[in-house]
Structure 1
Amino acid sequence: MYDMKIFHHDKPLIIILLLTLLGRGLYLQLQYPLWWDSHIYIAMGKFIASNGGIGFWEWFRAPFHPLFLGLIGKMGFSIIIFGKIFDIIWSLGAVYFFYRIAEHLFERRIALVGSIIFSFTPVFIMLSGLMLAEPLAVFLALAGVWAFLRQRFFWTGILLALSFLTRFHFGVWIIAVLCSLLLEQGRWKEKFHSLLTTMGGFIVPVSAYLISNQLLWGKALKPFTEAQVLVDSAVWFYERSAWLYVERFFLACPLYLFVFMYGYLFFRNKEWRNTKKTMLVVVTILTFAYFLSISHKEVRYLMTALPALAMMAAAGIVWTYDYLRRTSSAFIKPKSFVVLCIVALLLPLPFELSFERPPQFHNEIGEILGENESRAMIVSTDPSLGTYLTSTIVTLDGTPFAAEIYARHKGKYDVVYIGDCDLQCHPQNQTCLDQKHDFWTTVREENELVLEKNWTFRENDVEKRYSCTYMVFVPKN
């Protein structure tokens, strides 16, 4: 009888989890191509699994996700297949913890509505199966918040540290939790103990990471202090205005406009006195403050605050529904409001979940290498070759480093694969333009062109088309 009571209480959650599983399963059937960062993580996983034999390691990326992919490879499983399966598991786990947290902070109706919004937000669905770090990071962050609400402070620190080490941006969650603890009413002795325990849990994984950085690179903070140098040469290409987040998130997913309704209620009803709810606002403010301050803007960056945004939107929707039920002269009936919300949830999905399939040339390069593929070395601007080929892949890491890396492997490589759009220079950066020209001159003089193809792209958030040329070279005899 007790088990049946639990089942009936959690029936909405079970249904949402089943719908989440069904939606992700159908989405995976579309077999959308992996992204650039997906191939990087796979290559890093292969590097771990092969003890450095294949793949490569990018020191400036958060390590936990590629370490997990490497563990999958170490166990003899396919990183691609099981990586996608675990993406679904992380998504289901994130929805589960979201529901529990929303039910604890608000009420069951908000947990129900928020879980549906969260689960079926296009960017969250889109990232399921791409083997990017966000699904794991958001799962760990929400697990950490749930541990915090259950007063398991050491585990709170551990889980939020792992979330941070999966995607550095998710460090806003530990800041929000610490703010909540500091603002909590109570005796300072108990508060200090909770803060110390939480920070103790956080420091354990993070200190291990910093020590490994010191041993490997000679600088514990190297990924935080020097990574920007690697992206400065190309970040201008992805520069967007703040309007991107309005157009591609709030207007594309209109239910999130109810976040602003909750913001009004938060101050009107003095909900800031509830430090746990304040935590959601802190995460949202910190996320937008950071990502609005940098040139490179993508909707997927909002995954950092998506759970908080979905909870607040759900609270705004439920309040509006209750208001319509209480008001006889409302401009819209409550049932009509529910229908509009369902339409607003589902209508964006077909448009937001479609994107271009970039060309891939691993089959052609595999044919060029023939039986020597597993022993070959490929110098490439694109990391995707490492996903599909067993060759050693050396990435050129952008225009500032391309010539140096190419020269270092001269006489060792079997193929050079270059996409000219991967070698970006700001039109006014003459130094970079000269480096690019000299690099191209050297490659063409020392190698023979065996394949050349053009491809025209149009990104969803870019109003112009642009063309890229892909070339495959082999050394001259």
Structure 2
Amino acid sequence: MKWLLVLCAAVILLGVLNPGNLFWDSAAYIGMGKWLYSDGASGLWEPSRPVALPLLLGALWKLGVSPFGMQIFSLLVAVGFLALVYFTAREVMDERRAVFAAFLVGATATFLVFSTQPMTEILSTALLLGGILLAIKKHPFLAGTLAGLAFMTRFLQLIPAVILGLWLWKGKRWNPAAFFALGFLAPVMPYLIFNLVLYGQPFFPFLQQWQLTSQTGWLWHEPWFWYAPALLFENIALLLFLPGLLKKRVRLFALLGLLSLLVYSAIPQKEPRFFLAFLPYLAIVSAAAAPRNRVWIIAIIVLQTLLVFPLVPHALPPPPIEMGEEAALVSSPLYAVHSSAKAVPAYYPLFNAERARELRGKIGKERMLISDCDLPCRPGDAACEEEKGKLFSSLKTSSQMIEKDGCSYFISLRNPPS
């Protein structure tokens, strides 16, 4: 247990010393939180994103917590995530291996990078781990409730939630599975009603995210086998997963890890942060096959610690423009992070020729903060490239322009009434 505390303290120290700047998705969730708690007067809204994290971040914003404070909150969630990996693993293995499982997660570069980002991967997986722990301890209703909250935080958590429900049903034990399903629906049903009121369709966010998955994200398209080498590149000790598959006591985690890996591998868009959704299961199975000898475990820990730090990138610089306290149409949610004014996403739901023409028609009619690096066209879309060129040619003649790191940032003001 003391080594778990050392690991958590190290993660907190690293996060506080180098929190990094907010990423695009973090800024979007903060903006959505503001929108929810201001009745649409502040922030921005993207219907395809789940609502649980914006509800949480919006509450923090309402209490006066700054974006940096939200990063510290996210760091605490990440530490809780490591603790849940340990306590869940402790149900199926000894303490030494459970600490090793938590280390395998905590000593992964992607985890360290995203531990200070208010995003869905770590929070949703922490909620699901809590559900798994409660299911093992025979509290199916509460397990289902946490699984439902995980789904409301990240829609793809439905996959491991279903696997967990089927595991509770093994041997046709209806009662645990039924209580799990009722617990799952307890938070999800109000969310579906919220969608019905807001959009007129209870499943609108899921359908739109499915549609956008096929139309966007092409910058991150990778082959189906991409995750396995990416994971091993960050944490070579995960090779222990293969002998770990032979351990019966971690069969549930092997199933969760493998099926989640298959689902994510089938989706063309692949990013390192996505494997945080199934990394704990891989780590627990790997830890089950860890050597009995303490010296070998310590040697693996030291080696992985030395390997991981060069992989953690330096923080990206913040954008050179901010929205201020006047409403604007923005090409990135990052411009509106520190503003309490309303922002309209220029990039949503997707940027194409039609959207570029629409934006060009708004020059002089609406305040705009736009960068050419934020609005890429799909490869081979000549019509989009042509309209994008016209858009930024118009902005160059009518807007203030800032050049930084190869990007052009434009501040276009609303023309005064004649």
User: How does the TM-score come out when normalised to structure 1?
Assistant: 0.80
Question: How does 1:335-346 map onto structure 2 within 5 Å?
Answer: 335=295, 337-346=296-305
Give, in whole Å, the separation in 1 of the partners of 2:86 and 2:10. 18
- Equivalent AA in structure 1 for residue 355 of structure 2: A
Matched residue, 1:96? 83
Matched residue, 2:408? 469
Q: Structure 1: any 5+ residue segments left out of the alignment?
A: 1-11, 326-333, 367-372, 456-466
Matched residue, 2:276? 303
Matched residue, 1:20? 8
Paired residues of 2:401 and 2:408 also in contact (CA < 8 A): no
Paired residues of 1:233 and 1:425 also in contact (CA < 8 A): no
Paired residues of 1:122 and 1:348 also in contact (CA < 8 A): no
Would you say 1:393 and 2:332 are equivalent positions? Answer: no
1:126-145 CA-to-partner distances (Å, cap 9, x unmatched) read: 21111112222122111111
Give, in whole Å, the separation in 2 of the partners of 1:128 and 1:343. 21
Matched residue, 2:309? 350
Give, in whole Å, the separation in 2 of the partners of 1:15 and 1:344. 17
Paired residues of 1:39 and 1:387 also in contact (CA < 8 A): yes
The secondary structure found in structure 2 opposite 1:129 is: coil
Say how many residue pairs are matched: 413
- When residues 43 and 106 of structure 1 are mapped into structure 2, their CA distance, relative to the original with a 3 A threshold, is same
Q: Post-superposition shift, 1:257?
A: 1.1
| Larger relative contact order, structure 1 or 2 (CA cutoff 8 Å, min sep 6) | 2
The secondary structure found in structure 2 opposite 1:19 is: helix
RMSD, matched Cα:
2.5
Give, in whole Å, the separation in 1 of the partners of 2:236 and 2:148. 32
Question: How does 1:59-458 map onto structure 2 within 5 Å?
Answer: 59-74=47-62, 76-183=63-170, 185=171, 188=172, 191-230=173-212, 232-242=214-224, 244-263=226-245, 265-266=246-247, 271=248, 277-317=250-290, 321-322=291-292, 335=295, 337-355=296-314, 357-362=316-321, 373-374=324-325, 376-397=326-347, 398-400=350-352, 402-403=355-356, 406=359, 412-414=365-367, 416-441=368-393, 443-444=395-396, 448-455=398-405
The secondary structure found in structure 2 opposite 1:451 is: strand
Give, in whole Å, the separation in 2 of the partners of 1:408 and 1:230. 24
Paired residues of 1:253 and 1:344 also in contact (CA < 8 A): no
Would you say 1:36 and 2:24 are equivalent positions? Answer: yes
Matched residue, 1:57? 45
Stretch deviating more after TM superposition (138-147 or 386-395): 386-395
- When residues 427 and 103 of structure 1 are mapped into structure 2, their CA distance, relative to the original with a 3 A threshold, is closer
User: How does the TM-score come out when normalised to structure 2?
Assistant: 0.90
Paired residues of 2:155 and 2:206 also in contact (CA < 8 A): no
Sequence identity percentage: 23
Bigger-Rg structure (1/2): 1
Q: Structure 2: any 5+ residue segments left out of the alignment?
A: none
Paired residues of 1:380 and 1:417 also in contact (CA < 8 A): yes
- When residues 407 and 432 of structure 1 are mapped into structure 2, their CA distance, relative to the original with a 3 A threshold, is closer
The secondary structure found in structure 1 opposite 2:399 is: strand
Stretch deviating more after TM superposition (228-237 or 287-296): 228-237
Stretch deviating more after TM superposition (427-436 or 100-109): 427-436
Paired residues of 1:448 and 1:476 also in contact (CA < 8 A): no
Q: Post-superposition shift, 1:243?
A: 5.0
- Equivalent AA in structure 2 for residue 137 of structure 1: S
Give, in whole Å, the separation in 2 of the partners of 1:443 and 1:228. 33
Paired residues of 2:52 and 2:153 also in contact (CA < 8 A): yes
1:273-317 CA-to-partner distances (Å, cap 9, x unmatched) read: x5xx33212211222112211221111111111111111111122
The secondary structure found in structure 2 opposite 1:286 is: helix
